[in-house]
Amino acid sequence: MPKDPKDLLNTVRGMRDILPDEMALRNKVLGVIRDLFGLYGYREILTPTIEPYELYEAKSGEEIRHRMYTFTDMGGRKVVLRPEATPSISRLVVRKFRSESLPIRLGYILSVFRYDEPQRGRYREFMQAGFELFGSKNMEADAEILQISNDLMRRLGFRDYSFKVGNQGLMKSLLSFGGIREAAQGIVLHRIDKGQYDEAEAEICTLSSKGALIAGKVRKLALLSKEAQGEDLLERGAEIVKDVPGAKAELSNLSEVLDLCRGIAVDKLKVDLGFARGLEYYTGTIFEVYVPGVPVAVNGGGRYDGLTGLFGYPLPAVGCAPGVDRIVLAMQGKSSAEVRVPLCMVVATSPECIGLAFKAADAIRSSGTSALLDVNRRNLNSALGYASERGIRFVVIIGTREAKENLVTLRDMARNVQKQIPMKELPNSISQSK
């Protein structure tokens, strides 16, 4: 127990309360995401918050593995609070969608947990939305995920965002060329993801006899991407990896994706051939979305062809996970969403009228208009004060004398006028006065 009761006022480090204004903005973002689920044919699903430790221990990356909330439940099972959702969704596809024809498009919105170092835009519980497309190896699937990510930004009103695009397969083929086994590649990919090229080089040199050559190529690809773009970059990149098996195919995939995106967002795409993502399951196209003023990515995704195969049903797959909290952070101050204020408040001026007030509020809501009931038995002045403080437009006053004649008083707080009307006309009268 905390010694001081005031300690109970603190949330656990890295966890946040979300207040009405932010919640309204968040719901606006979630609304746009759900519109996109519908527009692009992604059926929404939900997976459990608590998952077997092994599912995430083996399938997520070096970075996430060490940041998982892990515990043993009362049945002695080692479990985690999911640190992301792609392995869960992949398992779900194998368990429940095996008999469906391909491709399978699924969407989700859920909370994930990572023991990250808290800072602006980095929390320990945050919300990810996801678009996952299973069953197509073709680059139009990758381009669709980029298109959705672009559509999301546009629909939310962002203009000066940018995509960093690369290919994890290119990096992996380079590391395999150096004789570094798939299982050992994670730590290197993690370093490259963080832009720690010196540390990556040191790891590569420990793991490979051709270390200097491989690390040199990684650096050249990264440097080249700073000075060249488009066809020029792809051609000069191909030259750097011309002796690396598999690299040519990955570069041609990347070129195909860029071609397909030409009509939608090519001015926003910055290709980085020296880019890798920390999540080890990525096999091909990878990308992140950045917004000025937010130093961390607001969305990330890519192709992960091997994941469902681990559950016995190999399917090519590609997807993305927009981070709802960071998108909201980027919108704050530039965009707002209104917290819904009820249109009217019903006040009984004496205890005998409470039953009637209760019914009147019900009738108003049944007609589709929002209504609060005064549950504090305030006097009229204090009730009007409350309504005005909250921005409530109409106050319905029910008093003993009028109630006997089935009348109520409807006060328009905006115009500062009031009238008596028959109780049964109340819902209509409010709608007409709006």
Q: What is the rounded CA–CA span in Å between residue 364 and residue 355?
A: 14
Show contacts with ligand AMP in window 349-408 (CB under 6 A): none
Cβ nearer to ligand AMP, comparing 128 with 136:
128
Q: What is the rounded CA–CA span in Å between residue 287 and residue 294?
A: 17
Tokens of 193: 């993801």
Nearest to 132 by CA among 251, 301, 287, 375: 301
From the list 300, 319, 342, 399, which residue makes contact with ligand AMP (rule: CB under 6 A)?
Answer: 300
Cβ nearer to ligand AMP, comparing 166 with 237:
166
Window of 44-52, 70-78, 117-125, 153-161 that interacts with ligand AMP by CB under 6 A: 117-125
Cβ nearer to ligand AMP, comparing 335 with 370:
335
Find tokens 């998952």 and name the residue.
Answer: 51
Q: What is the rounded CA–CA span in Å between residue 111 and residue 90?
A: 17
Cβ nearer to ligand AMP, comparing 168 with 308:
168
CA 141 from centroid of its chain's CA atoms: 20
β pairing state of 269-271 and 285-291? unpaired
On whether the CB atoms of residues 8 and 2 are closer than 8 A, the answer is: yes
Q: Minimum distance from CB of 323 to ligand AMP (Å)?
A: 2
Window of 229-237, 294-302, 332-340, 362-370 that interacts with ligand AMP by CB under 6 A: 294-302
Question: Measured on CA atoms in the order 123, 145, 287, 334, is the torsion positive or negative?
Answer: negative
Q: What is the rounded CA–CA span in Å between residue 275 and residue 267?
A: 19
Cβ nearer to ligand AMP, comparing 128 with 253:
128
Cβ nearer to ligand AMP, comparing 88 with 128:
128
The contact pattern for ligand AMP, residues 244-283, with x = CB under 6 A and - = no contact, is -----------------------------------x----
In one-letter notation, the amino acid at residue 365 is R
110 φ/ψ angles, rounded to the nearest 5 degrees: -155, 165
Cβ nearer to ligand AMP, comparing 244 with 330:
330
Question: Measured on CA atoms in the order 4, 5, 10, 11, is the torsion positive or negative?
Answer: positive
Strands (E), 25-154: 43-44, 50-52, 69-72, 78-81, 104-113, 125-134
Cβ nearer to ligand AMP, comparing 178 with 278:
278
297 φ/ψ angles, rounded to the nearest 5 degrees: -65, 140
Nearest to 294 by CA among 268, 329, 322, 335: 329
On whether the CB atoms of residues 146 and 162 are closer than 8 A, the answer is: no
Cβ nearer to ligand AMP, comparing 277 with 411:
277
3-state helix, strand, coil in the chain (%, to 5): 45, 20, 30
Show contacts with ligand AMP in window 154-213 (CB under 6 A): none
From the list 36, 133, 214, 297, which residue makes contact with ligand AMP (rule: CB under 6 A)?
Answer: 297
Q: Minimum distance from CB of 96 to ligand AMP (Å)?
A: 23
Q: Does 128 bind ligand AMP (CB under 6 A)?
A: yes
Collapsing DSSP to helix, strand or coil, 50 comes out as strand
Local structure of residue 338 (DSSP, 8 states) = P
From the list 37, 123, 275, 281, which residue makes contact with ligand AMP (rule: CB under 6 A)?
Answer: 123
Window of 39-47, 123-131, 140-148, 403-411 that interacts with ligand AMP by CB under 6 A: 123-131
Q: Minimum distance from CB of 83 to ligand AMP (Å)?
A: 8
From the list 325, 349, 353, 427, which residue makes contact with ligand AMP (rule: CB under 6 A)?
Answer: 325
Q: Minimum distance from CB of 216 to ligand AMP (Å)?
A: 28
Q: Minimum distance from CB of 169 to ligand AMP (Å)?
A: 17
Window of 118-126, 307-315, 332-340, 397-405 that interacts with ligand AMP by CB under 6 A: 118-126
Find tokens 């209509």 and name the residue.
Answer: 428
- Residues paired with 398 in a beta bridge: 348
From the list 16, 122, 220, 236, which residue makes contact with ligand AMP (rule: CB under 6 A)?
Answer: 122
Q: What is the rounded CA–CA span in Å between residue 4 and residue 159?
A: 48
Angle at CA 112, nearest 5°, toward 109 and 113?
Answer: 170
Show contacts with ligand AMP in window 67-106 (CB under 6 A): 84
Q: Does 321 bind ligand AMP (CB under 6 A)?
A: yes
Q: Does 326 bind ligand AMP (CB under 6 A)?
A: yes
Residues that bind ligand AMP (CB under 6 A): 84, 114, 116, 121-123, 126, 128, 279, 297-300, 321, 323, 325-326
